[in-house]
Amino acid sequence: GAVVSQHPSWVICKSGTSVKIECRSLDFQATTMFWYRQFPKQSLMLMATSNEGSKATYEQGVEKDKFLINHASLTLSTLTVTSAHPEDSSFYICSAGKNSRGGYTFGSGTRLTVV
């Protein structure tokens, strides 16, 4: 089955620094990956759609200069939170899939804490 690996699973960083989160599809090629953010007791909010070889498509209200997405290969997408602030503390999850309808596989998520 499709496996998506996300790293790191948790990270603590100082305010003002940048953090990179990796999302890898291990046994399939993913031309599209998705990045979500989840606040406590809230739904998963789509931040952006990451397209291999082209610019990511950001959802309304998501700052593209703050959340840099790079999808340089068919198996790797990265999300960099730049100049992180405490309000960026959240659970970030990526997803990818082989088929076009629905059954996307999610990574295990990254808990980011900015202090």
The residues that touch other proteins, with contacts defined as CB under 8 A, are: 4, 6, 9, 32, 34, 36, 41-46, 49, 51, 57, 91, 93, 95, 100-109, 111
DSSP string, 18-62: -EEEEEEESSS--SEEEEEEE-TTS-EEEEEEEETTSPPEEPTT-
* Cβ proximity to other proteins, 84 vs 92, nearer residue: 92
Nearer to other proteins, 28 or 106 (CB): 106
Q: Report, in Å, the least distance between residue 82 CB and other proteins.
A: 23
Q: How far is the CB of 88 from other proteins (least distance, A)?
A: 18
- Of 54, 27, 44, residue with least CA distance to 90: 44
Spatial distance between the Cα atoms of 113 and 91, rounded to a whole number of angstroms: 9
